[in-house]
Structure formats: C-alpha cells, structure tokens
Structure 1
Amino acid sequence: MTYNLNQSRRFWLLGAASLSAIGLVACGKSKPEDDHGHADGGEDDFERGPHNGRLLRTGDFSLEVTIYESGVEPEFRFYPYWQDKPVAPNAVTVMTRLTRLGGKVDSFTFQPQEDYLRGQGVVEEPHSFDVRIDARYRDKAYAWAYASYEGRTTISPEAATTAGVTLEQAGPATLIDRIDLSGRVETKPEGRSEVRAWYPGRIMAMTVELGQSVRKGQVIARVESSESLQIYAIPAPISGVVIEKNANVGGVAYDAPLYVIADPNALHAEFFLFPRDAEKVRVGQKVEVRALDRSHILMAEVEAILPSVNEATQTVMAHVHLPGGDGVFRSGLGIEGSFFTGEQGVPLAVRTEAIQTFRDMPVVYAKVGNVYEVRMIKVGRKTPEWTEVLGGLDPGETYVVKGAFLIRADIEKSGASHDH
C-alpha cells in the first residue's frame, strides 16, 4: 500500500491552532501545510501523481513523492517522469533531507528498484518535517522544498500556564515494582484476650464496663468458687479496651469468657495475595497503607506471610504491622495497600501520566519553543509513576506531563485521523 508524503499521516495543522474548548488560544502560525488525505472534502493544494502521491514539477521533469508502509517500515518511494511519462529510475539521482522540530536532520539516498527510486532508510515517526529534495536528470539539477507536519500545534506560554500544562525532561528513573491490594485492619492475636473464670462459681463482682480501658493486672471480676466457696479475684491479662462483656453479677461463671479485651495498639493489616503475587512478596518489604478515603497514609512493613492457602479463594494471607495509638486505624477498617516488591534503574523514562494514544500508538508530546509535537514511543517496563522508553524519544527532550490530553485534543481538532 502506498501513501503520498502528505497522505501517510492525517493530523496536520494549517495556520494557528486553537484550544477553544478549554480556553487556550494557539499563538503563531505554522508553515503552509500539506494535506495528508484529510477526509473533510477539502481540495488538495498540490497535484497528485498516478500513485496518489505529491507530484513535484519543474518544466518537463516531475517527481512523485510517496511513503510506502504496507508490511514494511515506512520508506520513501519516488517515481520520476518526463513529460508525464515514466522515466527509468536508474537515470535519475535523488537526495532528500528532512529537518525535524528541534533541528535534527534525516538524510536519504535512493537506489533504483523496478519503476521507482527506493529510499535507503526508515522514515521514522512522526512524519513531521520540512522537506528538501534534490534531483538530477539529464545533467540538470532540480530542487523542491515544502513543509509536511503531523501532530503539531503552537501554544503561547501564557495559554499553556492557564491550562495547567507542566513539563519535564526525559531521562533516567528508578522504576519501583508494586502490587496494589485491598485489605482490612485486625487486632493481632497477642492483642486480644478472652477473660475466663479460673474455677466455676458464682460471679460476685464485675468492676469494668464495655468500652472501658483497663491495665494489665487490674482486678476486673470476683468469683466465688463452687468447690471451696472462697472468693478469688480475676485480673486483666493484658492492657486494652473491653470490647465484649458476656456476664453479669449473680450469674454463674463456667467456660464462657466473662470479658474480651483488645489492645488498640496491637494492630496489623491483613491482605490476601493471589499465588502470582505471593511469589514476589517477602517479609520486611515496605508497604504503603492507605485509608480508603486516602485521608491517612503511612509506610509499614510485611511482618508475616502465612504458609496456608485459603481453599475457597486460593489466596495467601500477608500480615502488615500497623502502629497504633492514634485512633486512625481501627480493627475492622477497610484499607488499601501498595507492596513495593523491587526496583530497577532505567536510562530513559517518562511519567506514566504523560502517555497518551495517537493512532493507537503510545505517545508523549515534546515541546520545542512554543511548539508541541507528537512523539511515538516504544515502551518497556511500566509502573504507576514511570514508564521506560525504549525508542522514539531522546534523553533530555522536554515533554508534557500534566495537560497532555489537552495538547492531543487540540491536535485532533485540527485534522482527521489517518487510517493505516
């Protein structure tokens, strides 16, 4: 499948772009732009050749410019003509220079193949550049130059600031692997005690009430033994709060607990791990624990991973220690947790929130001066914060972090999309 240089991509900007939907106004004007197969019914402002490419003419000599990308990486294919009749490609020499935003220049030489001249090299994305073509036929030189832009818009600094656009430079980053899970707060086993009578008998006194704080060793009940008829005191085995009271004075103490005491400082979070996640979680790893409304966040550690698997859910339970005493986390409270299971440095990364989609490809928007332009990127490892970049963006390039979707929206309003 063959596309002309101005058909192979469709997000092409003509003149000043606007962000009227969000109150942004683009400033400055682009160079005259080429139609890349817009589906808006507008007339082409250039002549097309037999292969539907841009036809460049000087006198009797003409050159049809196309980009071919069906089953191959995008490549130039130029078709030469003399008086509108095909010319043998080995009779023509061609060189092409593409000057990209920021000043980078891509140069191409051409070799004859079948009835066209094939560019030696890949036309990298984005297909947005100023084009210079030099050709020679019958000892005469020909030259053409024109602008061919894709995914590009111009926005004033004031408008970008008003829209909340923020920028960063692409560079190295540390990618932290994490697993996000839901859990609940529970009292540790050692922080809960069921208080029972030592010997069966009649309850003579119960000295604390539900919700009352007690200290370890404090007498909380007295029972008359049925065997000796002597009254003995029952002290609190731990310090904490009475969360259950299951008897009254005059009742008979047997094997049921009189009280249940829980220590509000002896808390942990319980998280259920699926087997694929359990393999990555280790005791001592850091965990960010959050209230469901994210009003409170703290860093904790994995204190234990239970060896058994829940038969019903096929999950493994991980316990995460929680500091108590401030009343923020209470037993039974639902929470969220992020388990940090590893980290790795990468030479080039961008903020994950900066990545948008352009023609079903992951992209970021680079900025040079007041001009913003799409960059198709090849991504590697990804975390909620960072995404590794394997190609398509150079270290040190400035790109949009916050507000990237506004840049995309402005570009999309300026033209129709190209269907590959």
Structure 2
Amino acid sequence: MNRTHQVRRACGVALTAVALTLAACGGGAEKTETGEGAEAAAADYERGPHNGRLLRDGDFSLEVTIYEEGPEPLFRLYPYLKDKPLDPRQVQATIALTRLGPKVDRFTFTPENDYLASPGVVSEPHSFDVAVQATRGGARSNWTYQSYEGRTVITADAARAGGVTVQRVGPAVLGETLPLSGRVEITPEGQAEVHARYPGRVVSLTVQLGDRVSRGQVIARVESSESLQTYAVTAPISGVITAKNVNPGQITGNGQPMLMIGDPTRLHAEFFLYPRDAERVRVGQRVEVTSAAGEHRAIGVIEAILPADDVLSQTLVAHVELPAQGGVWRPGLGVQGQVQVGAGEVPLAVQTKALQPFRDFTVVYARVGNTYEVRMLDLGRRTDEWTEVLGGIEPGTEYVVDGAFLIRADIEKSGASHDH
C-alpha cells in the first residue's frame, strides 16, 4: 500500500468517526441539526423558500441564509409561523459561530423588510459550529448545528506517513529578483597563453586539443632561429588545452600564442545586462544560477560588472563565480540567473509552495490538533520561496507546507462543500 493510499484510508476512518460523533452530539431542549462536514450531503437538512437552512421549533421556524450577492456575505433570517411568513419585528435573534481555533463570531439581528439582518460580515471560510437563538412572544428557541467546508481530520500517524509538515505563519524576508541569461566561461585567472621564448621552428608538440596538462609539464620543443639550440616549452598553469595555433615544423614566436590553456575548475557565469536592467544590478548582489535543463543550481555573488565587447550595444556583463561542483558546470554552457535586486521584511508570509487552489480562492491549510481547514488568503508580493499575506490567517497559525496536496485531495473526496 503506497503512502498516499495509507493517508487517504486513515483520513476516511477519521472522518467517519467524526461524523458519528457529531451525530451523537446535542441534547436538552436544543434542536440539533446534522452537519454539512464529513461525508454528509448538503440536502440532509430541510430548506426554506429562500433555499436556506430551515430550523423548526413547533409552529415557529427560522430560515438561515447567507446573502452573497453584495460586496460581503451577510446573514439574513426569515421567520415563519405555521410555515407562513412572520413579521420580523416580532422576533429577536442572535447567532454565534464557533470557528476552528477556537474563535467565536457573534451576530445580533434587527428587522429589515421581510427578514432579520445583521451588519456583521460572515467571513471566509464558512466553516463553523452554529448556535442560533430566537425569541418570539417571550418563548425562546435554540438550535445548534455544524456547517463545515474545506475541513478534514487526519491522525498524526497518517499525516507523518503522508509527509505532511507544518510551519507557523510569521514574518519573512522577501527578495525582489530579476531574471538574467548568460553562459559559463573560464575566469581570466584560469586562462593562460603559451608562447615560445625565442622565435623558431616547432620541433615537437606533445599535446592536442582537450588534453589535460599540469603546471611545468613539457608540452613542446622549439629550435631557436638564432642559436639553433632546441629548448623546452612548459605549461604555465594546470588545465586543458583550449586552443592550438601551431603544428610541428611551423615557425612560432611572431607574437601569436602557440597554445591556450584553461583551468575548468576556475569558472564564472557571464550574464548580459541590458540598459533597462543595468541600473538595478550591483556588485555584491546575490545570484541563483541554474543550468539550462534546471538540474543544477549554485548560489554566487556578482564580482564585477564590465562593458560587453560590443560597445555600441550598451550591454554590460555581470561576472558571478561558480563552484566546480564535480564538473557539472562546463565552459560554453547556457545558464539562467535570478539576481536579488531588493529585499524587505514583511510582517506575515507563508511559503509559496504551500499555496493551493480552493474554489475561487488561493488558500493554505491551517492545522489545529488533527484537524485541517482552508484559510482564504489576501496575498501581496510573491517570490519562489515566500508570499506576503495581507489577510485571511492569524499570526502564529500552523499551516501545511509539505503534503498540502494530500489534504486538498481528502477534502475534495469528503465533499465538505460551500453550502448553507
């Protein structure tokens, strides 16, 4: 049995247990409705003429609706007596919503048209334990029920098996980045020209293109044109032969190097800066370098910013040192970069990988004990690592970072819908 199946099986058992527990709750004079959470269908409760939940107490009944056609969701309560509309001025009502956490939102209602209204906004998620109290002619009616959405219960063992990890919402440093393109090159310090000390004929050449040489190794012999003596030419650095300009029998010493040697362990990335970006890039800024296929990454800083060979283009070149990393970086390879051009601390942020879609919202899954529930977020700036949160979750709340897709799949399977 794979880990995902284990988590889902454990979640299903947990959710069934929760549903049975909720069904057994209630008592006294209160009217208890079955919840929308777990696997209960939305049609398990009686609906009124406005498609809301109809709560009954003898001949008196109250229809609870959430009006969502305005700028904010608001409660509207429609009273009835013997299933006939009742003047809302004859009824006083309150609602208390106990949210996961717990947090209690309280609403007091006043008559308006043919319903009772409250100015309090029913904030997302619409997931709570509901307590309704209504008074008519001195008689009091009380109802409680569960109305859950985007909520599920997973045991700690099942969460661990599914790789679920959590973190607390808090401040973070968000870096603003700029994308760059470039290539890997050998640093100037890692390159050397091989020249003949005296003009003459190349007697022998012991290396070819691509050969590795060591510093001090004899790589050629030249017969001096003046003394007719043969002398050895040695490698000035260790590295690889990257250019070859002579062959045995040819005359050398005319100013052109015989050979070029490059040290493949001394590399940097050269990124091209166009005029619109050059003003934002500075020496010392941090750069994340990624190979063309995205398989290799390295972190470096900009060591120098120099003009490009083509002066007319007004393009600059930023040099970023690269580690050897066992040969994964090779001269001539194309690379991508993300340079951090600014950074600032925000009071509230979540890891970007924790964000998930839910209905028309972007959410994270808050954890309270073994219960997980959506939190609809109002988001600000975003980087690959962090996303600023402007609202929708309380500081210090634990939220799912890794394994969020498992929570999402279990909630979708459970059928905890947005329904009132």
TM-score range (shorter-chain normalised) is 0.7 to 0.9
User: How far does the alpha carbon of each residue in 1:334-376 deviate from its partner, in whole angstroms, 9 at most, with x for none?
Assistant: 4454433332222222222211110021111112222111111
RMSD (Å), alpha carbons: 3.8
CA distance in 1, matches of 2:95, 2:163: 39
Residue of structure 1 equivalent to 2:27: none
Q: Structure 1 residue 24 and structure 2 residue 10: aligned?
A: yes
- Is the 2:200–2:222 Cα contact (8 Å) retained in structure 1? no
Per-residue deviation, 1:410: 0.7
Q: Structure 1 residue 399 and structure 2 residue 399: aligned?
A: yes
Q: Structure 1 residue 49 and structure 2 residue 38: aligned?
A: no
Question: Cα distance 1:413–1:277, how it changes in 2: closer, same or farther (>3 A)?
Answer: farther
- Is the 2:194–2:236 Cα contact (8 Å) retained in structure 1? no
- Is the 2:126–2:418 Cα contact (8 Å) retained in structure 1? no
Question: Cα distance 1:357–1:302, how it changes in 2: closer, same or farther (>3 A)?
Answer: same
Per-residue deviation, 1:232: 8.9
- Is the 1:288–1:299 Cα contact (8 Å) retained in structure 2? yes
Residue of structure 1 equivalent to 2:237: 239
Question: Cα distance 1:65–1:151, how it changes in 2: closer, same or farther (>3 A)?
Answer: same
Question: Cα distance 1:67–1:315, how it changes in 2: closer, same or farther (>3 A)?
Answer: farther
Query: Superposed, which structure 2 residues align to 1:121-270 within 5 Å?
Result: 121-179=120-178, 181=180, 183-189=182-188, 191-195=190-194, 202-204=201-203, 206=205, 210=209, 211-213=211-213, 215=215, 220-222=220-222, 224-225=224-225, 238-241=236-239, 242-253=241-252, 257-264=257-264, 266-270=266-270
CA distance in 1, matches of 2:10, 2:279: 49
Per-residue deviation, 1:45: 2.7
- Is the 1:204–1:224 Cα contact (8 Å) retained in structure 2? no
Question: Given residue 161 of structure 1, which amino acid in structure 2 is its aligned partner?
Answer: R
CA distance in 2, matches of 1:151, 1:275: 48
Query: Superposed, which structure 2 residues align to 1:79-158 within 5 Å?
Result: 79-158=78-157
Per-residue deviation, 1:177: 3.3
Give 3-state SS (helix, strand or coil) of 2:108's partner: strand
Question: Cα distance 1:164–1:403, how it changes in 2: closer, same or farther (>3 A)?
Answer: same
- Is the 2:273–2:318 Cα contact (8 Å) retained in structure 1? yes
Question: Cα distance 1:307–1:107, how it changes in 2: closer, same or farther (>3 A)?
Answer: farther
Give 3-state SS (helix, strand or coil) of 1:401's partner: strand
Per-residue deviation, 1:120: 1.7
Query: Taking every aligned residue pair, what percent have the same amino acid on both sides?
Result: 52
User: How far does the alpha carbon of each residue in 1:303-361 deviate from its partner, in whole angstroms, 9 at most, with x for none?
Assistant: 22344598999975321123569755432244454433332222222222211110021
Give 3-state SS (helix, strand or coil) of 2:271's partner: strand
Residue of structure 2 equivalent to 1:382: 382
- Is the 1:102–1:368 Cα contact (8 Å) retained in structure 2? yes
User: How far does the alpha carbon of each residue in 1:209-230 deviate from its partner, in whole angstroms, 9 at most, with x for none?
Assistant: 55253548989553544xx686
Give 3-state SS (helix, strand or coil) of 1:413's partner: helix
CA distance in 1, matches of 2:52, 2:312: 63
User: How far does the alpha carbon of each residue in 1:87-129 deviate from its partner, in whole angstroms, 9 at most, with x for none?
Assistant: 3323322111001112210001123222221122110111011
CA distance in 1, matches of 2:287, 2:300: 5
Residue of structure 2 equivalent to 1:9: none
Question: Given residue 366 of structure 2, which amino acid in structure 1 is its aligned partner?
Answer: A
User: How far does the alpha carbon of each residue in 1:384-406 deviate from its partner, in whole angstroms, 9 at most, with x for none?
Assistant: 22222211111121211111111
- Is the 1:97–1:131 Cα contact (8 Å) retained in structure 2? yes
Per-residue deviation, 1:66: 0.5
Give 3-state SS (helix, strand or coil) of 1:24's partner: helix
- Is the 2:219–2:235 Cα contact (8 Å) retained in structure 1? no
Q: TM-score, normalised by structure 1?
A: 0.80
Question: Cα distance 1:129–1:385, how it changes in 2: closer, same or farther (>3 A)?
Answer: same
Q: TM-score, normalised by structure 2?
A: 0.80
Residue of structure 2 equivalent to 1:414: 414
CA distance in 2, matches of 1:255, 1:218: 20
Structure 2 gaps of 5+ residues are 24-33
Residue of structure 1 equivalent to 2:31: none
Whichever structure has more helix as a proportion of its residues is 2
Question: Cα distance 1:124–1:24, how it changes in 2: closer, same or farther (>3 A)?
Answer: same
Residue of structure 2 equivalent to 1:367: 367
Residue of structure 1 equivalent to 2:30: none
Number of equivalences: 398
- Is the 2:93–2:134 Cα contact (8 Å) retained in structure 1? yes
Q: Structure 1 residue 76 and structure 2 residue 62: aligned?
A: no
Per-residue deviation, 1:138: 2.4
